[in-house]
Amino acid sequence: MSGHSKWSTIKRKKAVVDAARGKIFTRVAKELTIAARSGGGDESANPRLRTAMATARAANMPMANVERAIKKGTGELEGVIIEEIVYEGYAPGGVALMMEVATDNRNRTVSELRHLLSKHGGNLANAGAVAWMFDTKGVIQIPAEGVDEDELMMTALEGGAEDMSNEGEYFEILTAPTDLNTVNEAVIEAGYTIEVAQLQHIPNNFTEVSAEDLPKVVTLMEILDDYDDMQKLSASVDFTDEMLAGLE
């Protein structure tokens, strides 16, 4: 799990919050729209929408934006149809990539992803080529400041979580996919602030990366993560502290 968590830490350290806020809002808006389209606009009857709204609140997304995104999903406002697609691929050094996108034009998206990957030493793969290297888990991240680790862990485990780890600036809770909403709501009800609550692909096999390829992998992941249609990105890299120290 460390590789997954370290990637989250890399993004945090490199992020400029004000510049990234528009990007965050775009991603959350797409998730709200998709959730509302698939399960309706009533959050009490739509667990995915409840989770998306918790993420929106954590990002301080204006309520007007939230309501507009939901209405696009329910059809109350006109909007393009957004598809969820998972693409698989490779980064330099044979690192496996799982790329979850939300797009209104799959032909454009796959063409742009192929271009980005090939330009930076990677390539797209056929469906199923690398998916076996990942498990789908619910991931909940909570800012660590002012939080008692033992109390949070008790709340999470009692709510049905599988595990929790201390990643320094935040705590990360893992759940079975079907338990994400239940654990998320238990944590919120206990008064904790949720920063991330979503399903993610977590690597269960790691690819050894050479010192030469590691910077190339990180560069490609940063570029892919910044791609407009990208919602979630996972890679089969175990970003150890020693490896990260070599990038500084």
> Where exactly are the structural domains of the chain?
2-74
Class of domain 2-74 as given by CATH: mainly alpha
Number of neighbours of residue 204 by Cβ within 10 angstroms: 12
The pLDDT of residue 4 is: 61
248 residues of the chain, pLDDT tens digit each: 545 656 666 665 555 444 556 778 888 999 999 999 999 999 989 988 988 998 888 788 999 999 999 999 999 988 788 999 999 999 999 999 999 999 999 999 999 999 999 999 999 999 999 999 999 999 999 999 999 999 999 999 999 999 999 988 889 999 999 999 899 989 999 999 888 888 899 999 889 888 899 999 999 998 999 899 999 999 998 876 666 665 55
